[in-house]
Amino acid sequence: MVEKLFRVRVGGMSCVDCEHRVRRALEAAGARVLKVSWPRAEAVVGLPEGGLDFGRLASAVAAAGYEPGPVEPLLSAEPSGPPPAPDAEYDLAIIGSGAAAFAAAIRAVELGARVLMVERETLGGTCVNVGCVPSKALLRAAEVYYEAGHHPFAGIYTRAEGLDPAKVIGQKAELIGELRREKYADLVDFYGWELVYGQARFEGPDVISVDGRRVKARAYLVATGATPYEAVPPIPGLAGADFLTYIEALELKEVPGRLVVIGANAVGLELGQYFQMLGSRVTLFELMPRIAPFEEPEVSEALARAFKAQGFEIFTGARVERVEKNKIYARVDGEQVVREFDRILVATGRRPATRELNVRAAGVEVDGRGAVIVDQYLRTTNPRVWAAGDVAGGPQFVYVAAYEGKIAAENILAEAGRKVELEAVPRVAFTQPQVAAVGLGEAEARRAGYEVRTAVLPAKEVVRARANRRPDGLFKLVADSRSGRILGVHVVSEQAGEVIFAATLAVKFGLRVEDLVESFAPYLTMSEGLRLAALAFSRDVARLSCCAG
């Protein structure tokens, strides 16, 4: 949805509770609230273009007991590049060196720009160093080890004879080194931008310093990503428990006998399963009512069944109260639960890495989580500063970051006026079974005003799942009942990540249920589940022969 950003002046706020009340009032009036600040007597909101009802906002603020003030646009309505800067050393200075930063730098050089990239620590950002690449490499190693002792095939006699975690970590490090060199370091030389190491800080609206060196560019791109350390919950005793985030977990050279995981979204589930497959007894504590809480309820339920069958202990609706020595105390359904542990993994999310940037000196607004506030063109509240990737508060996926980095470069240097469009972003959790989804969930689609119909196909109806002896899971399709257009696809099954790209095309290009039904699906593949799920809107798939339509 195209939107514009506004600052709403709000008088009479005196505390954090006031911020919460104003936020609820503005959200009820239809605004997307990015930030409320009682010390600054203001809120920053996004409002849909063409549907701006300032009177409704004022009435909502007044009804909540506060004083509505002026509503001011934060940015000009039309996209534009940064102002001229005749004394600038660079056309674009990029802070960060991950996916968003590299995509922006490559495109900027192609557009003829003078580019500086500033990296505080390690080249390459989260994905290659401490995220996607190492976690999936370790997960695959653990799967091989686990399968040797737990495969489902009769008459095949194998066993897991031994484990050397240090060698597994060492091989992972070799892979990271290779990819960091090939996909990052070598590209700096190939494209020819300048790379410097140091902590970048804004010293004003048009200048940064890098460890004391003043740098002036025509425009700046903030692409510093996100960090797990800002998202660690303030649980009494946790800081003294030598807890792990995903960063430390990916370097651990021993397998904990008892592992407690706080947080059961993708990272907690993946790494919990990694250690479980290597032999840990894993207990999951999730504050929300179900694991994988942002997936469809049916997906969460299917994944929970699979995890429990694998030996996980799962507590949902669990509020961790404290940590004492090697014990963790939580409140679940009004009862206290106490578990002993050898290590704790904290997987409660990531927050944008803006603390050290001094963005306030540049007049750049951030939201309550520290994310840089941007419009649909990735402009911040400073006409010289853009932001892209995880630091801008959008979906935290490396491919989204790269997409945004390229768009930011084109908007800055070519005034392309490209808008960020994230209606068909796929996601995958590389658990066993995998979880993958794209588009809207059922409740989300209803909130968006669609008349919704759904179909849920058990994975066991896909013959490939039966042949693989991995029948757990399901396929769920969400469709608009009027047009038949596919709004969302949600899969929990073996190889779900390999299936979801086809579903992404279906959502992005507005395919209808009948389009899937009338298309060929290769047999035996898991992707056939998409067609069978489409058939399930009108037929009992269990009563059809193989490949029948």
Catalytic residue among 127, 246, 277, 450: 127
Give SS3 for 31: coil
Which of 68, 55, 51, 81 is CA-nearest to residue 9? Answer: 68
Whether residue 433 contacts residue 473, with contact meaning beta carbons closer than 8 Å, is answered with yes
Distance separating alpha carbons of residues 119 and 139, to the nearest angstrom: 29
Amino acid occupying residue 200: A
Which of 398, 427, 421 is CA-nearest to residue 488? Answer: 427
| DSSP structural state of residue 331 | E
Catalytic residue among 132, 191, 197, 399: 132
Token pair for residue 238?
């946790």
Q: Count of H helices and E strands in the chain?
A: 16, 26
Amino acid occupying residue 102: F
The reply to whether 18 belongs to the active site is: yes
Give SS3 for 439: strand
Catalytic residue among 66, 90, 184, 377: 66
Crossing angle of helices 266-278/132-150, nearest 10°? 40
The reply to whether 329 belongs to the active site is: no
Pairing of strands 258-262, 343-346: parallel
Token pair for residue 285?
């504590």
Q: Where are the beta strands (DSSP E) in 398-471?
A: 427-429, 434-439, 452-458
Question: CA Rg, the chain, in Å?
Answer: 25
The reply to whether 127 belongs to the active site is: yes
The reply to whether 547 belongs to the active site is: yes
Catalytic residue among 13, 117, 277, 526: 13
Backbone φ/ψ region at 105: left (φ over 0), alpha (ψ -120 to 50), beta: alpha
The reply to whether 13 belongs to the active site is: yes
Catalytic residue among 184, 277, 450, 546: 546
Distance separating alpha carbons of residues 447 and 441, to the nearest angstrom: 10
Crossing angle of helices 266-278/297-309, nearest 10°? 20
Which of 244, 296, 231, 299 is CA-nearest to residue 272? Answer: 244
Distance separating alpha carbons of residues 344 and 327, to the nearest angstrom: 10
Pairing of strands 281-286, 313-316: parallel
The reply to whether 220 belongs to the active site is: no
What is the residue-wise DSSP string for 50-98?
T---HHHHHHHHHHTTSEEEEEEESS-SS---PPP-TT-SEEEEEE--S
Which of 325, 170, 330, 168 is CA-nearest to residue 261? Answer: 330
Distance separating alpha carbons of residues 435 and 28, to the nearest angstrom: 33
Distance separating alpha carbons of residues 306 and 389, to the nearest angstrom: 33
Distance separating alpha carbons of residues 510 and 505, to the nearest angstrom: 8
Burial of residue 24 (CB within 10 Å: 0-12, 13-18, 19+) is middle
Helices marked H in 310-413: 398-413
Token pair for residue 437?
């989804």
Catalytic residue positions? 13, 15, 18, 66, 127, 132, 546-547
